[in-house]
């Protein structure tokens, strides 16, 4: 097991170094992907899932570290690559606090996996070698507190070979999930949980190392080195967005009808009616749904159900499924698309024949816009919105449309800057509408 305390000193061909770094990034993708399965970190299911994905993706370095004997030459070569990858990717992720946090999280998870898959002998040797020796609970103390220990740990004291003890602040992860017995501030825990003590120490060391790398990375005079680091296809975890708690496929139609801006309501209606959207429409609406907080499974079900009313499932899977997975970060580089702002939609390329993306206030014909406004607004309000459109004030026109359709005082609302922002304001200011959704059990 590597502690990554010594930076690599050997020289290496740029091609081989690139392969080592890319393999590490593939490992990060797996560690990020497993979060979606909601397995407990350190559980057998969590371990099995990651190992199966490592094997499936043929990440030979990490497969060797999980399966080979530590004394073998293959293991030692892979361990060397493991150390190189850690330090090189550290340079890539050292620049900001956010990047440092995700890097340390992944690296600690990888260490956890290695630790739990090592033999007891290998673990003990590792602890001694790295001066990570923890106090054992005496046999008499185990007997004296046997009932309490059994109740807390859920195991027979007579079958426990040994317990460790440490102050509870040093191992809060185990205390938090009630896998320990607390007595006078000391935590009594099973040997299998000692990994949390080690991870806590390594976490501090990793952050110190990243700060050192950050300070020295900008001092590199060889531009080839900085170019190499910056050219690595780094990934960043996607954030989870929820404008509405509980948004789902069961309430998406009601939300579209009640709280969507015209641009997204138009796309939703066409998807339901035509069972298809052109590429730009799929992108505009798909990213909106992601930031709205529609779960991945529900989004895929929506697209699949609508598209397969016109085409077969096989064609959908082959031609369209990848895009929707990509929008939710399930495939590819797991790049997080930026939320579409009104300015982006307004200035994006004009919709051509049969294309449905864009901003209704800018891209629709005056007659089409008036016909749509007449369904929701009245006389003078329509004229005021049309005046703003003629002046090129499309966002203000959208804001006035929201205020007039929801009876919101215009002074309370700042100019709309994104479709998702429109939804947030609509829900916040329309408590009666929201209450009705709750009462219907739709949110």
Over residues 138-146, the mean pLDDT reads: 76
Going by C-alpha positions, the residue among 263, 298, 269 that lies closest to residue 284 is 263
Comparing CA positions, the residue from 36, 26, 440 lying closest to residue 232 is: 26
Contacts of 420 (CB under 8 A, 6+ apart): 243, 288, 291, 292, 339
On whether the CB atoms of residues 300 and 330 are closer than 8 A, the answer is no
The domain limits of the chain are 14-128+199-230, 130-196, 252-439
What element of type H or E holds 359?
A: none
Separation CA 286–CA 436 (nearest Å): 26
Residue 377, SS3 per DSSP: coil
Q: Kindly state the percentage of the chain with pLDDT values over 70.
A: 92
Mean pLDDT of 412-425: 88
Residue keyed to tokens 């061909």: 13
Angle, CA 414 vertex, CA 411 and CA 417 arms, to 5°: 155
Residue 439 has pLDDT above 60, yes or no: no
What is the pLDDT of the chain when averaged over all its residues?
86
Contacts of 69 (CB under 8 A, 6+ apart): 75
- 43-70 tens-digit pLDDT: 899 999 999 999 999 999 999 999 877 7
**Whether the predicted pLDDT of 323 surpasses 90:** yes
Is the separation of the CB atoms in 89 and 210 below 8 Å? Answer: no
Mean pLDDT, range 251-278, rounded to an integer: 95
Query: What integer pLDDT is reported at residue 365 of this predicted model?
Result: 94
Q: How far apart are CA 179 and CA 200, in angstroms?
A: 17
CA–CA separation, 266 and 278 (whole Å): 13
How much is the pLDDT for 242?
Answer: 55
| Consecutive H or E run containing 260 | none
Can you tell me which residue has the tokens 């990509």?
A: 326
What's the CA gap between 432 and 436, in Å, rounded?
A: 6
Answer whether residue 179 shows pLDDT above 60: yes
Give residue 54's pLDDT. 95
How distant, in Å, are the alpha carbons of 6, 52, 90, 223, 338 from that of 58? Answer: 27, 10, 23, 32, 31
Q: Are 167 and 185 in contact (CB under 8 A)?
A: yes
Distance CA 165, CA 146 (A): 15
Structure tokens at 30: 């797996």
Cβ-contact 277, 312 below 8 angstroms: no
Report in angstroms the alpha-carbon separations of 39 from 33, 43, 49, 221: 11, 7, 9, 44
Residue 93's pLDDT is 92
pLDDT above 70: residue 110: yes
pLDDT of residue 142: 76
């Amino acid at each position: 097991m590597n502690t990554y305390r010594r930076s690599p000193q050997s020289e290496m061909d740029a091609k081989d170094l690139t392969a080592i770094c890319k393999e590490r990034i593939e490992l990060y993708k797996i560690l990020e992907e497993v979060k979606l399965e909601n397995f407990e970190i350190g559980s057998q299911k969590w371990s099995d899932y990651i190992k199966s994905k490592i094997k499936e993706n043929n990440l030979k370095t990490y497969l060797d570290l999980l399966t080979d004997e530590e004394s073998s030459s293959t293991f030692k070569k892979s361990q060397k690559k493991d150390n190189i990858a850690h330090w090189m990717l550290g340079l890539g992720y050292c620049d900001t606090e956010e990047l440092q946090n995700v890097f340390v999280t992944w690296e600690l998870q990888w260490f956890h996996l290695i630790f739990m898959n090592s033999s007891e002998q290998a673990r003990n040797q590792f602890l001694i070698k790295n001066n990570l020796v923890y106090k054992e609970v005496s046999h008499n103390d185990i007997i004296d507190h046997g009932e309490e220990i059994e109740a807390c740990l859920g195991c027979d004291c007579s079958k426990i070979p040994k317990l460790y003890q440490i102050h509870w602040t040093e191992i809060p992860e185990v205390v938090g999930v009630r896998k320990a017995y607390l007595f006078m501030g000391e935590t009594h825990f099973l040997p299998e949980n000692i990994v949390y003590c080690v991870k806590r120490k390594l976490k501090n060391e990793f952050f110190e190392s990243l700060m050192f790398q950050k300070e020295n990375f900008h001092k590199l005079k060889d531009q080839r080195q900085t170019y190499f680091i910056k050219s690595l296809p780094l990934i960043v975890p996607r954030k989870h967005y929820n404008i509405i708690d509980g948004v789902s496929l069961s309430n998406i139609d009601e939300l579209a009808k009640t709280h969507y801006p015209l641009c997204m309501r138009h796309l939703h209606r066409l998807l339901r009616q035509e069972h298809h959207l052109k590429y730009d429409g799929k992108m505009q609406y798909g990213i909106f749904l992601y930031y709205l907080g529609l779960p991945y499974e529900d989004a895929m079900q929506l697209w699949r159900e609508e598209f397969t009313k016109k085409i077969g499932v096989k064609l959908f899977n082959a031609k369209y499924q990848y895009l929707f997975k990509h929008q939710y970060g399930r495939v590819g580089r797991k790049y997080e698309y930026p939320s579409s702002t009104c300015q982006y939609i307004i200035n994006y390329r004009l919709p051509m024949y049969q294309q449905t993306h864009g901003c209704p206030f800018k891209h629709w014909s005056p007659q089409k816009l008036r016909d749509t406004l007449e369904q929701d607004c009245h006389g003078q309000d329509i004229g005021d919105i049309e005046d703003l459109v003629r002046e090129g004030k499309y966002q203000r026109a959208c804001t006035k449309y929201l205020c007039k359709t929801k009876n919101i005082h215009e002074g309370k609302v700042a100019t709309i800057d994104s479709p998702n922002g429109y939804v947030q304001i609509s829900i916040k200011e329309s408590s009666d509408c929201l209450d009705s959704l709750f009462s219907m059990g739709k949110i």
